[in-house]
Amino acid sequence: MQHILPGATALSILLAGAAWADEAQTVYRVIVADHAAPRLTVLDLSAPDTRWTFDVAGQAKPYALAGGRVVAAVQSNDDHVHFLSTGVTVQDHGDHADIAVADPALIGAPLTGPRPFHVVSHDGHSVINFDKGGYALMLKEDALAAGQIAPVEFRQSRAHHGFVTPFGGTILSTVASDAPVEGDAASTRLGLQAFAADGSAAGDLAPCTAIHGEAFSGAYLAAGCKEGVLTVTGSGAEPTYRMLPYPAEFPEATTGTLLGSTAMQVFLGNHGPDGLVVIDPVEAPHMRRIALPFRRVDFALDPAQPAHGYVLTEDGSLHRVDLLKAEIVASARVTEAYSMDGDWNDPRPRLAMAGDRIVMSDPRAGLLRVISAETLQELSTVALGGQPYTLTVVGGSGLNH
């Protein structure tokens, strides 16, 4: 018996060491841009007093790319896109996830070009549309996460406010009309079309007038149009397009912004300024409308509770939307009123999810509000000063080993 005891002691030391190294860690890192100052602020919700700030060229909108390893800070009015390594890597290992945490840092030199706007992350690529350049830049996300900025240009026949994405075996791009326009007027967007990498057409135009608001869920891409919502699925050179018309009983309005669920095949879109629409690309009814009591300021989907979405309305109320019932199931006042009258880019709150919490910027109050997704009650605030505006949250939980 005696010789077993030292062995057991060594084993328990080993186990204790392993337990320490295998510590579970949760990090939600917020990247928030100021409305007026050309600045990004980064902080962890668990230690909000430790902050990193990064100067950029203008008002930025942060997009999380490469599974949250990278954020693109798109400065549409200042023709710049800066890339930030978020420092947070969550990697799925099947039975568990690994998390690694380091300081955030800017990656390389920013991209510059005429009016960068929509950014799409799909099929391992991030694609930035340059609305006044008539091209999009495509970046491999693994390379981006490794700190390499090596964009490949995709040419469009007419510059427009659109998007480009790899999709299955092809590249989809919005297409704008060749008809001449007056002065600075935007050319009419006609729809979506498949192209080869060199920009030559690989399929017919799928009509979708004024196409806007692309999102992905499951096997589908969806975008809003004047006629309805266009869905795209399938692989290979010629995907399958289907127009879901707005139901006759809906009020006269269109969808221009969509969010795609990551956990079930469903989209949540706007329908006019004071409505939302739950979109099922497969099963009828394809569209169910939710009337809002006031106009929408911002909305978000809950990746942890896929049946839930949240919408902030201009009276300062936050509502939980049940996507299965297509109705508002809870509401709470979270800030003062922010009228939707005025410019679309006026400083108003934005929402992002961080696990079981909602992080809302409150530009007038100069802070972030951290709100329980379950109770819709405020848990804490993070005073930032300035006018905190657009934001994204990266991170999650994993083992640090």
Residues that bind Zn ion (CB under 5 A): 93, 98
What's the closest the beta carbon of residue 131 comes to Zn ion, in angstroms? Answer: 9
Contacts of 92 (CB under 8 A, 6+ apart): none
Instruction: Between 115 and 364, name the residue whose CB sits nearer to Zn ion.
Output: 115
Token reading at 94 = 């099947």
Three-state SS for 26?
strand
Instruction: Between 189 and 286, name the residue whose CB sits nearer to Zn ion.
Output: 189
What's the closest the beta carbon of residue 396 comes to Zn ion, in angstroms? Answer: 14
Q: Measure CA of the first residue to CA of the last residue in the chain; give whole Å.
A: 34
Instruction: Between 98 and 315, name the residue whose CB sits nearer to Zn ion.
Output: 98
DSSP string, 226-238: SSEEEEEE--SSS
Three-state SS for 244?
strand
What's the closest the beta carbon of residue 230 comes to Zn ion, in angstroms? Answer: 15
What's the closest the beta carbon of residue 398 comes to Zn ion, in angstroms? Answer: 8
Instruction: Between 12 and 91, name the residue whose CB sits nearer to Zn ion.
Output: 91
Q: Which residue is nearest to Zn ion (CB)?
A: 98
Selection from 401, 397, 395 nearest residue 69 by Cα: 395
Task: Tell me phi and psi for residue 369, to 5 degrees.
Answer: -110, 130
Whether 155 and 137 have beta carbons less than 8 Å apart is answered as: no
What's the closest the beta carbon of residue 256 comes to Zn ion, in angstroms? Answer: 8
Whether 268 and 277 have beta carbons less than 8 Å apart is answered as: yes
The residue type at 347: P
Instruction: Between 76 and 86, name the residue whose CB sits nearer to Zn ion.
Output: 76
- Distance between CA atoms of 70 and 150, rounded to whole angstroms? 14
Instruction: Between 3 and 93, name the residue whose CB sits nearer to Zn ion.
Output: 93
What's the closest the beta carbon of residue 399 comes to Zn ion, in angstroms? Answer: 5
The residue type at 119: V
